[in-house]
Amino acid sequence: MKPLAECFLYGFIDTAYLDGRPVADLTACLCDNGVDLLQFRAKELPTELVSEMASKVKVVTDRFDVPLVVNDYPEIADRLGAAYCHLGQEDLTFLKPSEADIRTSSRGNSWSLGVSTHSPDQALRSIAIGASYLGVGPVYPTGTKPKAQPVTVDYVRWASTNVSLPWFAIGGISLLNLDEVLEAGAKRICVVSAILRAPDPARACRSFKNRLPSRPE
């Protein structure tokens, strides 16, 4: 399994963007064309269906040795043996900053933690509770989270100077604005719609991957 330090392109299987495509086929497309880390995200679906679909994704990510991230569901991440569980700030409200490891809330402690952050304060708190990586964004307006206020590349610049663990710029990133994100100091990015809604997702993956670093720091 690829170590986090070698993960630069973070892809998604988001059920809101499946558009009728089989989840396993789309997962294979992304994994075979440059995605280093893959999150499964399913909002507003029954837990049983989320678990069933995540299991199909896990079979494929295992075949490609791509680490799987399960969004929002620690219990599913545990059951599947996913590498990471990703949580938003709203999921952290029950924790105290002094708690060393959020995984104590998980039954099997099989996963490491990724956290979405939108400000320096949130980044520092997420690091303090044991995050393995951070999401930094949304950098630009994004249809994935239309109500979220963009943090702009200013937060990307802050993260590039102040965050030592791996972090991924996210939110509205496309091939057209990628250079601005990289110039602000990002080395790792998350991409959702610019890949999943591309006419050719495989080609989009390769295009993003070819413009990112290819070796650990």
Is position 216 within any domain?
no
Q: Alpha-carbon torsion 178, 140, 187, 183, what sign?
A: positive
Is position 140 within any domain?
yes
Is position 182 within any domain?
yes
pLDDT of residue 106: 46
Q: Divide the 217 residues of the chain into consecutive groups of 10 and give the mean pLDDT of each group.
A: 94 97 98 98 96 98 98 94 93 53 50 95 94 97 80 98 98 97 97 97 97 72
Q: What are the structure tokens assigned to 138, written together?
A: 């949304």
pLDDT of residue 153: 98
CATH of the domain at 92: 3.20.20.70
As for how many domains the chain has, the answer is 1
pLDDT of residue 93: 61
Is position 170 within any domain?
yes
Q: What are the structure tokens assigned to 149, written together?
A: 């206020």
pLDDT of residue 109: 53
Structural domain containing residue 182: 4-210
Is position 64 within any domain?
yes
What are phi and psi for residue 108, nearest 5 degrees? -105, -5
Is position 217 within any domain?
no
Is position 215 within any domain?
no
pLDDT of residue 148: 77
Is position 13 within any domain?
yes
Read off the pLDDT of residues 83-139 as tens digits, 9 standing for 90 and up: 999 999 888 765 444 444 554 444 455 789 999 999 999 999 999 989 999 999 999
